Amino acid sequence: MGGNSFEALGFRVSSSSSLPFFLFYRKSLSTPKSSLCQVADNKDKMRGLKLPLNQTQRVRLQRAFEKLQSLSAKANSDASVTVADTIPVNYEDAFLKGHGTTDLNGELVATVCGVVERVNKLVYVRALRARYKPEVGDVVVGRVVEVAQKRWRLEINFSQDAVLMLSSMNMPDGIQRRRTALDELNMRSIFEENDIVCAEVRNFQHDGSLQLQARSQKYGKLEKGQLLIIDPYLVKKGKQHFHHLEQFGIDLILGRNGYIWIGEHVEARDSMVIDQAKSMEQSTVVEGINQAYTPLEMRQTICRIANAIRVLTSLGFNVDLNLIMETVELSSSLKIDIHDMLGSEFHVLVAEMEAERRSLTTKRKR
């Protein structure tokens, strides 16, 4: 294919040797047609979030995001890569290629979109917005999808369902013993399909499947509350994933797999119940509590916290206890109704609050 055929067709061809790079593609950003509104719309377009913003709100939100962007160290560096971008490494030094990278003709190339991280010799790409990648010891919240022989299958936002063996959890009576066939028949009395269960990642089997365990009283079935599903990259690994909010009497479990539980506080029972009679007594007490309904105020608080988390995730902010509590306090100090928390005004307020908070913390560090 030479330039001649193009010239014959009535085109001016700049270079005669190869196909002229004579292409135009228009983006809505750069078209002269696009009005100012369209440009603005593209600029502060929020990922997966469609909010009816008025002019002032849009400007405020944009300003808050610009502030956040200027504060972030990672976003300003060239650490962000997309699929098939070359990662700059010093080829003379030895390096190890980690997750999200591959070797292409001697070059190190990213296979996912994310941020390049370097730990000593290891180079890997930390993907944002992917499904959960389990690590041993993580606290996860999951939903039972199947009761199988001696095991439950749990959906935990991983690429496969996780397995919780009957033998790797504490029996409700708290006695350590061999699991009998009778226990196996009574598995549905512990967890049924669609129950929400909190557990810990135990290990990977050699075939890649995942095993969970629930060997403590803090793990187990979750009741009287709300489950929220958010992107796992927003939940940071911390020392504590179980939070008891004493002022509200609420339990908050930040599952590392992006499943968040907000529910009424349950007193953890003694791990070892020796006295049979005592345990009987206790179980009747527990039943008595079970029958009682959750008071309205408690349910409202649960909804308020849930909505605070919803706002934070839709803005794409990291979800940790501090930020959740600040958002809740902001909403209650401004006397914003629970259902108004999902409106555009509160989103703007939270974005401004977070921008302010992050600028303060970075100043303190300096």
Partner 1 sequence: MDYVSPEGLRLDGRRPMEMRQLRAEIGTVAKANGSAVFEMGNTKVIAAVYGPREVQNRSQQINDQALVIMANFSTGDRMRKPKGDRRSTEISLVIRQTMEACILTHLMPRSQIGLCFNSIFTKKKHYTIFKELIDLCALSCLLASSFPISVYSRKRNISILNVSAGTRSACINAATLALADAGIPMRDIVTSCSAGYLNSTPLLDLNYIEDSAGGPDVTVGILPKLDKVTLLQMDAKLPVDIFENVMGLAIEGCKAIANYIREVLLENTKQLEYRRGL
Q: Is 315 in the site for partner 1 (CB under 8 A)?
A: yes
The helix (H) or strand (E) run that includes residue 254 is strand 250-254
Q: Is 39 in the site for partner 1 (CB under 8 A)?
A: no
Cα–Cα distance measured from residue 239 to residue 254, given in angstroms and rounded to the nearest whole number: 11
Q: 6 vs 242, which CB is nearer to partner 1?
A: 6
Binding partner 1 (rule: CB under 8 A), the pick from 7, 15, 16, 22 is: 22
| Residue for token pair 């330039």 | 3
| Contact (Cβ atoms closer than 8 angstroms) between residue 302 and residue 262 | yes
Q: Is 237 in the site for partner 1 (CB under 8 A)?
A: no
Shortest separation between residue 70's beta carbon and partner 1, angstroms: 9
Cα–Cα distance measured from residue 172 to residue 155, given in angstroms and rounded to the nearest whole number: 22
Shortest separation between residue 267's beta carbon and partner 1, angstroms: 34
| Options 61-69, 171-179, 240-248, 336-344: segment touching partner 1 (CB under 8 A) | 61-69
Per-residue buried b or exposed e for 337-358, using 16+ beta carbons within 10 Å of the residue's own CB: ebeebeebbbbbbbbbbbbeee
Q: Is 5 in the site for partner 1 (CB under 8 A)?
A: yes
- Residues near 29 by beta carbon (within 8 Å), at least 6 away in sequence: 39, 42
Q: Is 205 in the site for partner 1 (CB under 8 A)?
A: no
- DSSP, collapsed to helix, strand or coil, labels residue 17 as coil
Torsion of CA 281, 282, 288, 290, to 10 degrees: -150
Kind of pairing between the strands at 210-214 and 162-169: parallel
Binding partner 1 (rule: CB under 8 A), the pick from 53, 58, 61, 81 is: 81
| First-last CA distance in the chain | 61
Q: Which of 185, 178, 180 is nearest to 149 (CA)?
A: 185
Query: Per DSSP, what are the bridge partners of residue 229?
Result: 259
- Mask 262-301, x = binds partner 1 (CB under 8 A)? ----------------------------------------
| Residue for token pair 């006695």 | 175
Q: Is 354 in the site for partner 1 (CB under 8 A)?
A: yes
| Options 8-16, 179-187, 274-282, 293-301: segment touching partner 1 (CB under 8 A) | 8-16
Q: 33 vs 335, which CB is nearer to partner 1?
A: 33
| Options 24-32, 211-219, 251-259, 263-271: segment touching partner 1 (CB under 8 A) | 24-32
Residues 92-151 binding partner 1 (CB under 8 A) are: 100, 102, 104, 109, 111-115, 127-131
Shortest separation between residue 127's beta carbon and partner 1, angstroms: 4
- Crossing angle for the helix pair 55-71 and 344-365, to the nearest 10 degrees: 30
Report residue 209 CA to chain centroid gap: 21
Cα–Cα distance measured from residue 88 to residue 109, given in angstroms and rounded to the nearest whole number: 9
| Options 76-84, 172-180, 288-296, 328-336: segment touching partner 1 (CB under 8 A) | 76-84
Binding partner 1 (rule: CB under 8 A), the pick from 14, 24, 206, 247 is: 24
Q: 28 vs 54, which CB is nearer to partner 1?
A: 28
Binding site for partner 1 (CB under 8 A): 1, 5-6, 9-11, 19, 21-28, 31, 45, 47-48, 65, 68-69, 71-72, 74-75, 80-85, 100, 102, 104, 109, 111-115, 127-131, 155, 158-161, 208-209, 233-234, 315-318, 354, 358
